[in-house]
Amino acid sequence: MCVGLPMTVISSDEHTALCERRAEQRQVSTALVGEVAVGDRLLVFIDSAVRVLDEDEARQIDDALDGLAAAMEGKPFEHLFADLIDREPKLPEHLRPTNP
């Protein structure tokens, strides 16, 4: 199974970007997202950027990944899912039933 990771662009050229996440650097293809700028946050799967993220979305993904790791280690994790606390889960719009 692949997990997409938020990474930050530290340099780029026409088709690739050098990205960093927690002190690890990777050369990433940007063929699917087009031109990127230094500081952009990208969702990366197997060394390919699949989407440009805004800062809030990148933080939520990082928090969720940290929360899963904490839960697996038996550590507190609820605070890392703050966006889910005190609300009912909702299906994305495209998965909700339509009324005839």
Angstrom distance (rounded) from CA 74 to CA 76: 7
CATH number at residue 23: 2.30.30.140
Based on the domain organization, do 18 and 32 belong to the same domain? yes
Give 10's contacts (C-beta < 8 A, 6+ positions apart).
Answer: 17, 18, 19, 20, 25, 38
- Considering the domain architecture, whether residues 63 and 47 belong to the same structural domain is answered as no
Sign of CA dihedral 81, 86, 88, 93: negative
2, 48: one domain: yes
pLDDT per 10-residue tile (average), the chain, 100 residues: 90 96 96 97 97 95 94 92 81 83
Structure tokens at 48: 């390919």
pTM of the model: 0.79
Indicate whether 58 and 77 sit together in one domain.
Answer: yes
Q: How many structural domains is the chain composed of?
A: 2
Q: Is residue 96 one of the residues assigned to a domain?
A: no
77-89 pLDDT per residue, tens: 988 987 777 888 7
Domain that holds residue 9: 1-53
